[in-house]
Amino acid sequence: MLRLTTQRQVILEELSKVTSHPTANELYDLVRKRLPRIGLGTVYRNLELMADNGMILKIEVGGTQKRFDATTENHYHIRCAECGKVDDLDIPVLNNLVAQAAATTSYQIIGHHVEFTGTCPACQQRLAREQAAQ
Amino acid sequence: MLRLTTQRQVILEELSKVTSHPTANELYDLVRKRLPRIGLGTVYRNLELMADNGMILKIEVGGTQKRFDATTENHYHIRCAECGKVDDLDIPVLNNLVAQAAATTSYQIIGHHVEFTGTCPACQQRLAREQAAQ
DNA sequence: CTGCATGCAAACCGTTTGCATCCCC
DNA sequence: GGGGATGCAAACGGTTTGCATGCAG
């Protein structure tokens, strides 16, 4: 089944090196430093494939682009409404919430995700500076 | 400020009539029955505008398209991994979660959203039928 | 050797935007 | 009358896909 190609290895390695929840394009830039001839399509195909196989986590949060994470255990995120940056949140996963939801819906539940929206420190400063300038 | 145009009224009315969290395109189809000459751009512009003014809720969940909701109070959703359908979940909003998150991040928190993933009843049946057929 | 995986480029789809015209205040 | 709002169509950005070739098993 899953063939162990150089591209696949390098994509996974580069994703593991980084904690920034990169988009496919950001990862493409990282991987291209080691494999200059890799195609963007290959990056997309492999990210999708590895996510399906549970090797990585696909984070489909608000904002336009999908993001990826080498940490596969469920955890929550906060996204900056200004710049789109995504950080991990260190709060416990609410497993009891799944039971609660299961009791009120006829869907068969697969998983859940909590996403906070906020302003990251850098954008807080920038906004304060811009306001002061007026 | 917000001018009360026919288009704006009709978009809001049609969104209020419906509980299905329509995408911009679905809403465009609904609105076009009453205003055949309305442009898709107008629908997008007004949805964005009304969301910014707190008149409607913009739901940026997983999946590709944004969805909209005339109910503006925070509530949680479940999305079918198969067909993309989105339904409301009748579980209480976790306001204490915001305090918990605030304590562990340097972001200034604006809000939060919980999204469950699952298989909707219709897709459960379809999948069972497809499996039986093999 | 076989067929899955790749590189490349074109297509796709949802969304945004520029512009001339319109019409609400 | 003036400035925001509209309709239209073109542009945009992220993602997917078709195809000929390459390479892992």
pLDDT in tens, B7-47: 999 999 999 999 999 999 999 999 999 999 999 999 999 99
Model confidence pLDDT, tens digit, residues A20-33? 999 999 999 999 99
- A91 CA: distance to closest CA in chain B (Å): 7
Q: What local confidence, expressed as pLDDT, does residue A69 receive?
A: 96
CB of A89 within 8 A of CB of A75?
yes
Angle between helices A6-17 and A40-52 (to 10 degrees): 80
Give the closest of B60, B89, B91 to A62, CB-based: B60
Considering only CA atoms, name the residue closest to the C1' of nucleotide C17: B41
Tokens of A102: 């299961």
- The partner residues of B114 in beta bridges, in order of sequence, read A114
Question: Which of B82, B108, B119 should one mutate to test binding to chain A, selecting the residue with the greatest count of A CBs within 10 A?
Answer: B108
What domains does chain A contain, in order, with CATH numbers? 1-72 (1.10.10.10), 73-134 (3.30.1490.190)
CA count, 13 A, side-chain hemisphere, B54: 2
Distance CA B24, CA B41 (A): 10
pLDDT of residue B105: 96
- Whether residue A93 has pLDDT greater than 60: yes
> Mean of the pLDDT values across residues B121-126?
92
